[in-house]
A = this chain, B = another copy of it.
Amino acid sequence: MADRRILILAEGRFGVLDAKTATCVIRYAPDEVVGVLDSVTAGATTDEVLGFGPPLPIVARLEAGLALGPDTFLIGVAPRGGRLPEAWRAMVKGALEAGLEVVSGLHTFLGDDPELAAIAARSGASIRDLRRVPSDLPVASRKAASVDALVVLTVGTDCNVGKMTASVELAAAARRMGFAAAFAPTGQTGLFLGGRGLVVDRVIADFVAGAAETIVLDNAPGQDFVFVEGQGSLLHPGYSGVTLGLIHGSQPDAMVLVHQPTRLRTLNDEIEIMPLPDWIELHERMAGYLKPAPVVGVAINGYDLDDSAARAWAERITADTGLPAVDPVKFGAEPLIEAILARGLDKPRPSAVARGAGR
């Protein structure tokens, strides 16, 4: 992966919350990004907008972006509903004409668009639709419960709250502690970053849980931990079904709750976010009908907090819930790995503990 040169399209939406894919790729693969296309923030550098990462150029026009020498054109914004806005179409065409690989996480497959496909065929460019999923997924039947690896699912108090980031950080922390750990992506951004997975919200509804089951079974061999990226929220009016399907399909041994302390209402629907103990109880209950799975800790999304505020929130959340809480981006997810190990879950102990590498 390290030899990609990525130009990220984030037109009109570049920022931490609106351009989730763009932000995550800049966070976890900064060496691969050559610049960002966004006419609103153009002229600034990415670190000025995001508050982290290297100072990558933001440009307003495709020509300026192509001048940065990209080989990959990533659509780094996921509009609600997932379809390609007409305004972006001209830029996609330009990127294809320039021979770049266009990578898209949109629901509408660019590869199925006759005009775009024709341009790609002419220029030798390729189109990768991240949401393409296999057509032979099973109906889930609790098979994921049988793997030896500890399966940890991230769940959240809203959508777009940091479940993918928390999962990546959990896997990184586990590896730093000497464990074999897989990040199992279930969304387009995680899949673009790498890992064995598929975009579960693209799957036909009957097979969502089966997709989660498949992802766990694919990732588990040889691992101590599989960190499954969660999706949506159990109380999101549009996406709750995907969330429950992931819980029942992946059959987690433990869950980590992801929460942004300063978010009081949900982003899309402005529903008041209920207290964390209620969220914890709800998730443990819905998972527990089929298999017990504690929420072992809270991953704080502190993108808008400084270090001391994030620490203060962690203390407050621990007081409210009795669980460890940490902003894994700022401080690492090690306390959450410790929390999983401390539970004495009903699985073989991770190998690294036996090797003396853990704790």
Contact = CB atoms under 8 A, between A and B. Distances in A.
B208 A241 contact: yes
A268 interface: yes
Per assembly, the copies of the chain total 2
Contact of A204 (B203, B274, B289): B203
Interface string A128-145: 000000000011111000
A259 interface: no
Contact of A248 (B209, B241, B274): B241
A134 to B, nearest CB: 13
Interface in A106-151: 107, 138-142
Where chain A touches its partner, the secondary structure class is loop
Contacts of A202: 204-206
B238 A241 contact: no
A51 interface: no
A294 interface: no
Given A244-B244, A271-B290, A290-B271, A206 B142 contact: no
Contacts of A244: 234, 240-241, 243-244
A275 interface: no
A239 B142 contact: no
Contact of A208 (B200, B205, B290): B205
Contacts of A239: 139, 206, 209
A194 interface: no
A185 interface: no
Contact of A205 (B141, B236, B242): B242
Among A81, A82, A243, A244, residue most surrounded by chain B Cβ atoms (within 10 Å): A244
A136 to B, nearest CB: 9
Interface of A: 80-82, 107, 138-142, 200-206, 208-210, 234-246, 248-249, 268-269, 271, 274, 289-290
25 contacts: A81-B138, A81-B139, A107-B206, A139-B238, A139-B239, A140-B237, A141-B237, A141-B238, A141-B268, A142-B269, A201-B204, A201-B205, A202-B205, A202-B206, A203-B204, A205-B241, A205-B242, A206-B238, A208-B242, A236-B248, A237-B248, A238-B249, A241-B242, A241-B248, A271-B290
